[in-house]
Amino acid sequence: MKALILVGGYGTRLRPLTLTVPKPIVDFANKPMIIHQIEALKDAGCDEVVLAINYQPKVMMDFLKEWETKLAIKITCSQEKEPMGTAGPLALANEILNDGSGTPFFVLNSDVICDFPLKEMLAFHKKTGAEGTILVTQVEDPSKYGVVVMDESCKVERFVEKPKVFVGDKINAGIYCLSPAVLDRIEMRPTSIEKETFPLICRDGKLFAFTLPGYWMDVGQPKDYLTGLQLHLASLRRSHPDQLASGPEYVGNVIVHPSAKIGKDCKIGPNVSIGIGCELENGVRVANAVLLHRVKVKDFARVADSIIGWGSSVGRWARIDNKSVIGEDVHVKDEVFLNGTIVLPHKELKETVLDQGTII
Ligand code: GDD
Ligand code: MG
């Protein structure tokens, strides 16, 4: 079985992290986002994943070489000369996705995280005889998503991308199971699966919705990334509690890479991930936050509701709070307080920044 992951866009909403690496290889819970997806696809029986890329393909493919061997799955690249939208890339990869056997394939947005119930979704797709099955989930604010209205047999009646008025709160989770017949509907041009293809399949009564059991998040922006981490760790607590850190210094759900060093009298958690080679000195407090790889946090510093980029450091008694996102190789000096600050890579910060949303 084949799968295609839509890896387009510049990941601007996850800057400054995406100034260092493309969005799909930003770590989420100590593993690149896209690896969570590729592992799930492999588990569901996929033997080849096509990455539909229009930006930095070499960086992505070089990075994924090692994973291709590790996960024993073929990873190929379908490169666009111009952004082809969310459906155009399927036309471009038509020959790989349609091998003539009629086997359905998966399509994933690259920034979604969930329990990936792909096997169940495939079984549902086959049972209903759908041409397309959309994974759906319920959210409080549906306006920034594609909204799916379905009948009691789960047949989709309407698909409305980014609705201006309320049409429902079940949304497209950005994961599809499609039969090759869908490819006949997609022209070779930049086009949107949400705005053009789904309404067509829906009109013919061949679009179905599979409701996602468990958590879901589009982790393409910092606030949602942190919420997604919280949901993911809570799910790990239920499924693989052994992967969570335990000990007197940990509160709630925390993952710590085995290579990280944690000093005395630290208090870490809840909802924290600590990456490869991080070093926390003594009395450090971290809550609802992410330390990507090789971050150093000095004595008595505090990091809350924030993300700290690769190789950065936080000085003694410093405080980073309130949805700050610190890029790669940033050095925050002792006693500095950052309040909702976005810091671009390779900086040294000597002064406190109180104005929320400041970009440095
Ligand atoms: N290859 C390629 N080329 N990929 C693209 C392109 C392109 O031109 N444009 C966007 N993508 C990829 C993005 O990288 C992402 O993985 C996916 O297509 C969706 O684009 P986003 O920019 O993340 O869209 P969104 O988050 O506003 O909305 C989409 O996702 C929601 C769920 O998170 C839609 O599919 C909504 O219907 C859905 O609810
Ligand atoms: Mg998105």
Ligand 1 pocket residue status of 172, Cβ below 6 Å? yes
Ligand 1 pocket residue status of 142, Cβ below 6 Å? no
CB–CB of 133/177 below 8 Å?
A: yes
Q: How many CA atoms lie within 13 A of 318 on its CB side?
A: 23
Exposure letters 141-171 (e unless 16+ CB within 10 A, then b): ebeebbbbebeeebebebbbbebeeeebebb
ipTM: 0.98
Ligand 1 pocket residue status of 275, Cβ below 6 Å? no
Residue to mutate (ligand 1; options 5, 108, 111; most atoms within 8 A of CB): 111
The whole-model pTM stands at 0.92
Query: Can you spell out the DSSP letters for 131-171?
Result: SEEEEEEE-S-GGGSEEEEE-TT-BEEEEEES-SS---SEE
CB–CB of 67/75 below 8 Å?
A: yes
Angle at 11 between CA 10 and CA 14, to 5 degrees: 150
Q: Which ligand is nearest to the CA of 11?
A: 1
Residues in the chain: 360
Report CA(53)–ligand 1 centroid distance (Å): 12
How would you write the pLDDT of the chain (360 residues) with one tens digit per residue?
999 999 986 777 888 988 888 888 899 999 999 999 999 999 999 999 999 998 778 888 888 888 999 999 999 999 998 899 999 999 999 999 998 889 999 999 998 999 999 999 999 999 999 999 999 999 989 999 999 999 999 999 999 999 999 999 999 999 999 999 999 999 999 999 999 999 999 999 999 999 998 899 988 889 999 999 999 999 999 999 999 999 999 999 999 999 999 999 999 999 999 999 999 999 999 999 999 999 999 999 999 999 999 999 999 999 999 999 999 999 999 999 999 999 999 999 999 988 888 888
Q: Which ligand is nearest to the CA of 173?
A: 1
Q: How many CA atoms lie within 13 A of 177 on its CB side?
A: 30
Q: How far apart are CA 36 and CA 235, in angstroms?
A: 14
Atom number, ligand 1, closest to the C-alpha of residue 112: 33
Ligand 1 pocket residue status of 315, Cβ below 6 Å? no
State the chain's maximal CA–CA distance in angstroms.
64
CB–CB of 130/207 below 8 Å?
A: yes
Atom number, ligand 1, closest to the C-alpha of residue 193: 35
